[in-house]
Amino acid sequence: MNAQTPGAGVWKSGRGKGRKTPKGRQIEDAALGEVRTLLGDRPRRRDHLIEFLHLIQDEYGHLSAAHLRALAEEMRVGQAEVYEVATFYAHFDVVKEGETPPPALTIRVCDSLSCELAGAQQLQQALEDGLDPAQVRVVRAPCMGRCDTAPVLELGHNHIDHATPEKVKAAIAAGETHPHIPDYEALGAYRAGGGYETLAELRKGGDFETVQQTLLDSGLRGLGGAGFPSGRKWGFVRDESGPRYLAVNGDEGEPGTFKDRFYLEREPHVFLEGMLIAAWAVEAETCFIYMRDEYPAVLKILADEIAGLEAAGIIAPGFVELRRGAGAYICGEESAMIESIEGKRGLPRHRPPFVAQVGVYNRPTLVNNVETLYWVARVLRDGKEVLAGVEKNGRTGLRSYSVSGRVKKPGVHLLPAGSTILDIIEAAGGMLDGHEFKAYQPGGPSSGLLPATLDDVPLDFDTLQPHGTFIGSAAVVVLSDKDSARAAALNMLRFFEDESCGQCTPCRSGCEKAVKLMQADRWDQGLLEELCQTMADASICGLGQAAPNPIRLTMKHFGDEIG
């Protein structure tokens, strides 16, 4: 259509009235310029959508409708797609036209079981009563992986341990809203002690079968919770045709778990060398490290040390990609994590196919936990006896127990895998004065609660299944006679209700219904058991399948509390 033709410049014409613009929200030039400035010369890759949303959220404190529209235009994806990803994750604040943006400062108060035992509810109420809501937003948040210093909150990106209103007000006055980086072993110190020599030897002429057998002989199993033999998983991925990828699951979101953070804030290169050995083993083209947004200090450490590895020539630029989560427990499930790595909502995939065959970009992908890769480096450097040489109660190996609750010395305690809850409490300094041991959570909310009478069971893989539970990530929370098992179970189910991705009805509606039933004066045990069975049988992933455990074990062992 030329300039002389009637209707020139009209976007759509025909019978009836033409349109000068496409339907829907229009691009604002100012917002588009701001988004382009933030993105700079970064490639506009679809899988970087979540990273770009973080850039906008960090810069402006929220995601405006205009910025979302501009980002959709810049990335050449639909507005609906950008919107659904942004609204899926808890750490993004989407603000539509006419809505008031949140205050510049947000306080997230952890409400996990350990923090609730330490007074998180009272802390949140005190903050809400004592701070101006127009200046500071106070919200509850799931576990931040700092259960050993409960109660905990996050002020901006600054975690305040053993939090009190006075500490918070002092931090606000001082402008302390950024993460504090702990002292850790950097690249130079690690290499001076022989670090990366094992990796170099394997790259020169290592034999995969020998490495695989060493790991199998050591007894190393996946330490994210599943417990699958690590060497065998490597073989499955290696047998698939390339290209292949490696994805590290650093989304340690199971409440009560903080072992991965413990190691990364102290010895990040032990993990990084283990990861690069795993990448060598499966001939991965790229390594993706998916790290939860609740660990800002770890994200900074890893970004700096990966840059150091590139500068030292140990890895090629871009070989390791660090991806930042955005507040979604479900992304600890490996296929949901892969969806998030690809810049999508973290919805678990139906299986089969398994991620070892169809993972990142639909290619074979090895998924390992942070601690698993930490032990890969230790075993291949120091020998299989590091794990295989430790035996207790008929079990071999070591286990990093994240211990919190009513003990004197909460923290990560490295103990033989055959340790019982009494061994763990002893290692944690014993019970708090005036508290008598009543119950314990052996592996996060997914494992439910066991009574103190079951104090002789080794807390290891395969030993807890006869009791209707499992070790999972070894997140041990100790309860005393001053605590309610019923209230603890309700805390766990509220967590699952919040964190269900909503994809499948049994989990989405089941968790919501369970919370309502558990608030009754007397639990309807028949109805709850029927609900538990449906959730366990029909849920797509482990969240809905394991969510009934707190209900079932409370009914079994603490019937006097539920009527």
Residues 532-543: tens digit of each pLDDT? 999 999 999 999
CA distance 482 to 436: 8
E-assigned strand segments in 371-508: 391-392, 395-396, 398-405, 411-416, 437-441, 450-451, 475-480
CA atoms within 13 A on the CB side of 325: 28
Q: What percent of the chain has pLDDT over 70?
A: 97
The closest alpha carbon to 443, from 430, 426, 460, belongs to: 460
Give the pairing of strands 284-291 and 391-392: unpaired
Number of C-beta neighbours around residue 192 at 10 A:
9
Whole-number pLDDT of residue 224: 82
User: Would you say residue 3 has pLDDT above 50?
Assistant: no
User: What token pair was written down for 239?
Assistant: 């047998």
Which residues lie below 8 Å from residue 552, measured CB to CB, with a gap of 6+?
448, 468, 529, 532
User: What token pair was written down for 220?
Assistant: 């190393």
User: Would you say residue 29 has pLDDT above 50?
Assistant: yes
Sign of CA dihedral 163, 58, 224, 512: positive
Whole-number pLDDT of residue 209: 96
**pLDDT, mean of residues 103-115:** 97
For tokens 């690690």, the residue is 190
Whole-number pLDDT of residue 13: 56
**pLDDT, mean of residues 186-205:** 98
CA distance 139 to 539: 29
**pLDDT, mean of residues 553-561:** 97
The closest alpha carbon to 123, from 137, 136, 135, 109, belongs to: 109
Whole-number pLDDT of residue 58: 97
Whole-number pLDDT of residue 17: 66
* 426 alpha-carbon distance from chain centroid: 29
The closest alpha carbon to 372, from 428, 429, 334, 328, belongs to: 334
Residues 208-227: tens digit of each pLDDT? 999 999 999 999 998 887 78
CA atoms within 13 A on the CB side of 511: 24
User: Would you say residue 5 has pLDDT above 60?
Assistant: no
Burial classification of residue 332, based on how many CB atoms lie within 10 Å of its CB (0-12 exposed, 13-18 middle, 19 or more buried): buried
Q: What percent of the chain has pLDDT over 90?
A: 93
Cβ-contact 356, 366 below 8 angstroms? yes
Whole-number pLDDT of residue 228: 87
CA distance 426 to 550: 25
CA distance 121 to 100: 27
CA distance 511 to 499: 10
User: Would you say residue 8 has pLDDT above 70?
Assistant: no
Query: Which of the residue ranges 21-25, 295-299, 303-307, 509-513 would you say has the lowest mean pLDDT?
Result: 21-25
Burial classification of residue 8, based on how many CB atoms lie within 10 Å of its CB (0-12 exposed, 13-18 middle, 19 or more buried): exposed
Whole-number pLDDT of residue 274: 98
User: Would you say residue 203 has pLDDT above 80?
Assistant: yes
Vertex 502: Cα angle to 497 and 503 (nearest 5): 145
Tell me the pLDDT band of 24, cut-offs 50, 70 and 90.
confident
Tell me the pLDDT band of 20, cut-offs 50, 70 and 90.
confident
Tell me the pLDDT band of 1, cut-offs 50, 70 and 90.
very low
Which residues lie below 8 Å from residue 539, measured CB to CB, with a gap of 6+?
504, 506, 507, 510, 545, 547
Entry pTM: 0.95
Whole-number pLDDT of residue 507: 97
Tell me the pLDDT band of 453, cut-offs 50, 70 and 90.
very high
